[in-house]
Amino acid sequence: MSQSTFPVREGQNVPQVSFRVRRNGDWATVTTDEIFGNKNVVVFSLPGAYTPTCSSTHLPRYNELWPAFKAQGIDAIVCLSVNDPFVMEAWGQDQEADNVFLLADGNGEFTEKMGLLVDKSDLNFGKRSWRYSMLVRNKKIEKQFIEPQEPGDPFKVSDADTMLAYINPSARKPDQVAILTREGCSFCAKAKRALKEAGYDYVELPLPHTIRSRAVGAIAGSGTVPQVFINGRLIGGAEDLDAYLRRAA
């Protein structure tokens, strides 16, 4: 398929295909009807598992924004790639992408019927999917975001934030929360409990003693832990967090 002839299939049904997948270490077959029938599904397709953009941004952001998509009535997020089922299963485990169904289009049948199978032999990839996303409601494609027909692997429109903004520009995204800690710190444990009780899903960054003071000083301008950040804003230590949560209540 030439990259200059990508078809737009909005208003059409997704292709009828049976997929062989790996589930819990065993084989299973799933069909287009099972995946899309009577469901609202977001699909994003990418050139390959373990490749840089796919692993660093494309898959992780969809996985992170699943609560926001779910709140907008989306039943599932599907990541599709022309890879074999073993690779997709292992990649999903490696990425801890529990909120996304990683679907192997091993023979490229679905991708070819979508008109988005491209030749990446110059990268020793063979036939792969062009990068795109789409919103499918009960098997019918409502919206597609197909990456521009440029050399290489453009990543401008098929991202999770663009799709969520299409579904609802005012959709609330999960807060991004990180906490700097050290082992055995009672104030760190208190702050983590407070975040959990307030419903925040946080990332913990435990710092070894060899770099802790320099790291905390450089990042937070402080000499102690914990240090909590919410959506890029420094909240501070355990007492600062308590005050922030009281104001937000």
Q: What's the predicted TM-score (pTM) here?
A: 0.86
CATH number of the domain residue 219 falls in: 3.40.30.10
**Could you list the residue range(s) of the whole structural domain that residue 112 is in?**
18-167
Q: pLDDT tens for residues 125-168?
A: 889 999 999 999 999 999 999 999 888 889 999 999 999 999 99
Q: State the catalytic residue, choosing from 54, 79, 185, 188.
A: 54
185 assigned to active site: no
Q: Which among 167, 193, 222 is the end of a domain?
A: 167
The predicted pLDDT at position 43 comes to 98
Residue 217: closest CA among 189, 184, 180:
180
What's the domain count of the chain? Answer: 2
Q: pLDDT tens for residues 81-102?
A: 999 999 999 999 999 999 999 9
Q: pLDDT tens for residues 231-249?
A: 999 999 999 999 999 998 8
d(CA 36, CA 236): 45
Both 24 and 122 in a single domain?
A: yes
DSSP H or E stretch at residue 146: strand 140-146
The predicted pLDDT at position 121 comes to 84
Both 35 and 133 in a single domain?
A: yes
| Start-to-end Cα distance in the chain | 55
Question: In the structure, what pLDDT confidence band is assigned to residue 26 with cuts at 50, 70 and 90?
Answer: confident
